[in-house]
Structure 1
């Protein structure tokens, strides 16, 4: 796990909507995790999968300094635990995340502890500068805006509910994207579409997010967390070393490699490690008849 973002191996709505977003009360969807205590982040194991839930539904899961710290601790524990194969990030109470808690910022301008050297500490939203050795999936419901959009981009994949809304809503309040949004978003969806969102601050629906390439799956409302866990289990069923080496190579070629040759060289040197460990045993399973009718 590292902090360097640059080395990562991710109808018009007015300001009143954002204020309602920050001030509104609890959603009608309120999973049991939210009642287990006052932790701003709740975690749970599902076999080899860890779910990490932002638990501030009264603030549409806006992240304050304490929540950011708890998110870092949760993701650090996930990445260090060799028995875990994937994590799912979600928001308790029907919304993914409304960004940084502007109420906290208004009351205390020093609440954002911004380490300017991205190699030395977390971002304002917490884990936004981190990179992981295994997959992270975001289960997005309701609003994923401003810093919440940036947190969703931290994930490898995003499972999005039909009524979800993405957007750089912080544009209206003079809050910059300082949690990787200007880095990951253009790489993910291309500069032209990224600038459409970054410059206008407009909301986009789950369908448009899917067409842009932000959303990988669109599911019925209330089903994102379930589908994300199932997706995490699916990818965890594959030989893990090979898959994670391929994952690392894809990130390297996207964010770090300076040339096609450099990316190809990394892929070759990186992938060869898995040949004896997983490829040869896999070839023997194939020879015995396993997986021949495209059955996984």
Structure 2
């Protein structure tokens, strides 16, 4: 099934004014937090072609939805995502990536809520997010190693940037399972919570981020990503360029502070 055939089935789901009605992907927004859910629990949320297109549309919607400030990425049921659906093998190398969104860059913060397995392409989707909240019994791993499937959704690039070259090679070459505690020690998991609590914890984290002035949340986030791999001198120039776009917000914040808001660390957790 081609993009043209799928897209011809209905309205543009990336349009925030159109109800998001998709067979295997859900998009729900409450206040400023949008939740994108892979809804194939019987397949451990493995991604087939239809699901990849749904993820593409959901994250495009998130990026254009002015009411959505932070995105949470999760899977229905007991697992985050087991990667590509190897029983179907119907994915295509699209502009946005094999799994639908791995080459997309959204302009707002994203958080993965990881229950159970985030393995193979599921690990790559979790790495696509800015932060990861994992259950105590969550498992990460390049499980595609045993089947000879390459990492083509960002794993070879994002994983070493996050955990370092040695640890990334450990995961990529061996294909071994990395449990939540080790993932947290490495910085692969940013928060570890009780099983069944990851979505609630990710929502809470997202809501806290959404409370901050969003202009500087986004410019600082963009400066960090744009500066990766650059020299310090170039990185400082990138930071300055992004920072100048937030000077109005900074002036407003300084005025609030001068009026007494936030004195003594109030509002900081």
TM-score of the two chains, using structure 2 as the length reference: 0.90
Aligned to 1:112: 91
1:99: how far off? 0.5
Counterpart selection for 1:64 from 48, 51, 66: 48
Aligned to 2:110: 136
Aligned alpha-carbon RMSD (Å): 1.1
Query: Structure 1 or 2: larger helix share?
Result: 1
Query: In terms of mean alpha carbon deviation, does 266-275 or 37-46 score higher?
Result: 37-46
How many angstroms apart in 1 are the aligned matches of 2:204 and 2:30?
10
Aligned to 1:196: 170
Q: Larger relative contact order (C-alpha < 8 A, sep ≥ 6)?
A: 1
1:279 is aligned to 2:250: yes
1:38: how far off? 7.3
Stretches of structure 1 that go unaligned for 5 or more consecutive residues are 1-36, 106-110, 116-120
How many angstroms apart in 2 are the aligned matches of 1:163 and 1:248?
32
Q: Assess if the C-alpha contact under 8 Å between 2:22 and 2:54 holds in 1.
A: no
Runs of 4+ in structure 1 deviating by more than 3 angstroms, as ranges, are: none
1:46: how far off? 1.1
TM-score of the two chains, using structure 1 as the length reference: 0.82
How many angstroms apart in 2 are the aligned matches of 1:45 and 1:83?
8
How many angstroms apart in 2 are the aligned matches of 1:43 and 1:76?
11
How many pairs does the alignment contain?
Answer: 247
Counterpart selection for 2:220 from 246, 249, 263: 246
How many angstroms apart in 1 are the aligned matches of 2:126 and 2:154?
10
SS of match in other structure, 2:262: coil
Stretches of structure 2 that go unaligned for 5 or more consecutive residues are 1-20
